[in-house]
Chain A
Amino acid sequence: MQARRLPAEQAMLARYRAMVLIRRFEERVQSLFRAGRVPGLTHLCIGQEAVAAGVCSALRPGDRIASTHRGHGHSLAMGADPDRLMAEILGRETGYGGGRGGSMHVFDAANGNLGTNGIVGGAVPLGLGAALAARNAGKGAVAVAFFGDGAMNQGVVLECFNMAALWRLPLILVCEHNGYGEFTASDDVTAGELSARGAAFDLPVQDIDGMDVEAVHQATAAAVDSARQGGGPGLLFCRAWRFSGHHAGDGQDYKDDAESRAWRARDPIPRQRARLIDEGLETDESLTALEAEISDRVQAAARRALGAPEPSGPLHEKLFA
């Protein structure tokens, strides 16, 4: 895991680095998908990189996250090895699950990742359990549960809001509010304001610009600090946009073009890039070099994954511990 206890300017760069890694990685997955090399479904988080990078940079070793079907970014932000992540997405033996799980089921225990998840809202009860374990361990660790706005209509998610609030567990609930649940606009399936649902359980709610990695980071850091000190859970609504749609093959005919253009103008990556240069922390040349290095890293990951063997072990292996 990166960006832990770094001086502020280095941390800003680290968040930029994480976002560029996620973007390049997802673009590579997309091109592999279009070339027919990715089996099944895969969900990209292009446009939402600031949430993954901003939230995870507020964590430290010992903290845990539980992620969603759109979880490559969270995994990378927690320090996942791009080689093993790409291999899992391609269903190869060298992947995090040996090809058993794929994109929606990436587990990385060493980095505290309880898994991406194929069930909408699935991360929330798991994150709640990790928060319970953290509380019982008494070492000030926290857990993060990521979920989308679509998950806000799952009863189990609201049950978990109640329990987290009731027991003041160190759980950071991060709603990546990208406006759509699958192909349906959130407003079309949601009564009332989503943030009111957190307030109904007396959860402290923060409404955040999810396209600004520093805003996400600061809000998360505040919630995490409070949770570490026994202040209980927090709910963060990070407003963001899925540039690449629900899944890699989504034509996005259901979205309004003007609205999409407006969101693209707020792309978190150029925004952070400009901030680093404006504040004199980096130069165009240094960032260009960094971006090239990241691109090479992702290309290498794709090359290695494509060259990795298909799994061949017995099907039943590791069914039970």
Chain B
Amino acid sequence: MTATQTQVTFREAVIEALAEEMARDRNVLLIGEDVGAAGGVFHQTKGLFDQFGPIRVIDTPISEAGFIGMAVGAAMSGLRPVTEVMFGDFITLGMDLLVNQAAKVHWMSDGQYRVPLVVRTAVGIGAATGPQHAQSFHAWFAHVPGLKVVFPSNPADAKALMKGAIRDDNPVIFFEDRMSYGMRGSVGGADHVLPPGQAAVARPGRDISLIALGQMVPRALDAATRLASAGIEAEVIDLRSLVPLDEGIIAQTVRRTNRALVLDPGCIGFGASAEIAARVQELAFDWLDAPVARMGAAQVPVPFSPALESRVLPDGAAIAARAAAMVTGRQEGEAA
């Protein structure tokens, strides 16, 4: 890995990945609403149209079902499209094409066809975009056999994972949290590629594992800092991918810390946190000193009013309090 020294934003990191992959492989193309000349409504595709032109960077009508389906057909025909859905909520308009077509083609065709497709979409609670422009449905896609799901939390991973997703021969749903778009960090060079399925230790610790995804990772790191000042060393795991799920790192961390708090930016009910908690019990039940706990988005549509929206996801303080109670519970148990 050759790290570039300049700090770039999350948004720029993804653009770098797209530009490098489009330069490397002429079959890679970008399809979506306002991704071309406008450079994306969040400036998340800026410069790509000027560099690659209208044959490779395609501005579509507002026809999500149509252009997601077009990307599936193009992927089956030899291209490697990156399709953008402006707001994660709008993916609902193209669900058939992802769930019934993209996910199943390789398997149904007995491997004759591959669908090397990336669907990138921006989600994010915290910008007062209201109930139809904020929710993250990553758990839905993780439930569908044949789709991969990734959700980076920082610029370096965003760049490397986008490159990995583009090079993957399967449909990959790539979630980006808009609230992270301005986050700065150094990123890897053109040859640094992270395939879906590898989690990372974002902060080592011994007392409890905070297993987090997406926007919950910075919140977990904040919680870990707070816990450290109280003498509790939390280990923060950044899952980075839901499918494939990195069971190795989950088993390894929980078997060492004996406690797991799962943190998901999606709704709690029937969500990703439930699946991860179940895996923890399957992988490390005998090592657990406390029930697996989970925190995530409240089971409500995302409210508009900032006064309410700010309470949908638990913050670092709330996570720290929950983690401390789990750890303190062990200490009390030992004392008894």
Name A's B-contacting residues (CB within 8 A). 64, 66, 95-98, 100-101, 105, 107-110, 114-115, 117-119, 122, 124-137, 143, 155-156, 159-160, 162-163, 166-167, 318-321
Contacts and interface: CB of A to CB of B under 8 A. Distances in A.
B186 to A, nearest CB: 31
A127 B66 CA distance: 11
B76 A122 contact: no
Nearest to B71: A129
A97 B110 contact: yes
Given A122-B100, A159-B66, A320-B148, 6 more contacts: A125-B66, A125-B70, A125-B73, A133-B77, A136-B55, A319-B106
Nearest to B196: A320
A318 B72 contact: no
A155 B56 CA distance: 26
B89 interface: no
A279 to B, nearest CB: 38
A156 B107 contact: no
A254 B217 CA distance: 59
A137 B27 CA distance: 9
Nearest to B55: A136
Nearest to B243: A320
B61 A320 contact: no
Contacts of B72: 125-126, 129
Contacts of B115: 321
A126 B76 contact: yes
B74 A130 contact: yes
B107 A163 contact: no
B178 interface: no
Contacts of A126: 69, 72-73, 76, 101
Nearest to B67: A163
12 contacts: A100-B108, A109-B109, A125-B65, A125-B69, A129-B71, A135-B55, A136-B55, A143-B77, A319-B107, A320-B106, A321-B115, A321-B170
A110 B109 CA distance: 12
Contact of B105 (A96, A107, A108): A107
Given A124-B69, A159-B61, A129 B77 contact: yes
A119 B110 contact: no
Given A64-B77, A125-B72, A119 B96 contact: yes
Contacts of A163: 60-61, 63, 66-67, 70
Contacts of B104: 105
A129 B70 contact: yes
B72 to A, nearest CB: 6
B214 interface: no
Contacts of B110: 95-98, 100-101, 107, 318
B74 to A, nearest CB: 4
A135 B79 CA distance: 11
Contacts of A125: 65-70, 72-73, 97, 101
A174 B103 CA distance: 26
Given A156-B65, A160-B66, A163-B67, A129 B109 contact: no
Contacts of B326: none
A155 B104 CA distance: 22
A163 B112 CA distance: 27
B78 interface: yes
A254 B101 CA distance: 31
B196 to A, nearest CB: 10
Contacts of A130: 73-74, 76-77
Nearest to A66: B73
Interface in B44-84: 55-56, 58, 60-61, 63, 65-79, 81
B66 A97 contact: no
Nearest to A318: B111
A130 B76 CA distance: 7
Interface in B87-143: 96-97, 100-101, 104-116
Nearest to B78: A133
A109 B63 CA distance: 28
B107 A318 contact: yes
A126 B81 CA distance: 13
B169 interface: yes
B29 A136 contact: yes
Q: A108, A130, A133, A320: which has the most chain B beta carbons within 10 Å?
A: A320
B325 to A, nearest CB: 39
Closest 6 interchain pairs by CB? A125-B69, A129-B73, A159-B66, A107-B109, A126-B73, A129-B74
Contacts of B97: 125, 156
Interface in B311-329: none
B112 A109 contact: yes
Contacts of B75: 129
A108 B111 CA distance: 11
Given A128-B66, A156-B66, A136 B79 contact: yes
Contacts of A134: 77
Contacts of B170: 320-321
A109 B78 CA distance: 11
A318 B103 CA distance: 11
Q: Give the interface centre of B29, B58, B74 by most chain A CB atoms within 10 Å.
A: B74
A163 B70 CA distance: 9
A107 B70 contact: no
A41 to B, nearest CB: 15
Contact of A156 (B69, B71, B81, B145): B69
Contacts of B58: 132, 167
A318 B106 contact: yes
A319 B55 CA distance: 31
Nearest to A107: B109
Contacts of A100: 107-108, 110
Given A119-B100, A122-B96, A125-B72, A114 B77 contact: yes
Contacts of A124: 69
B36 interface: no
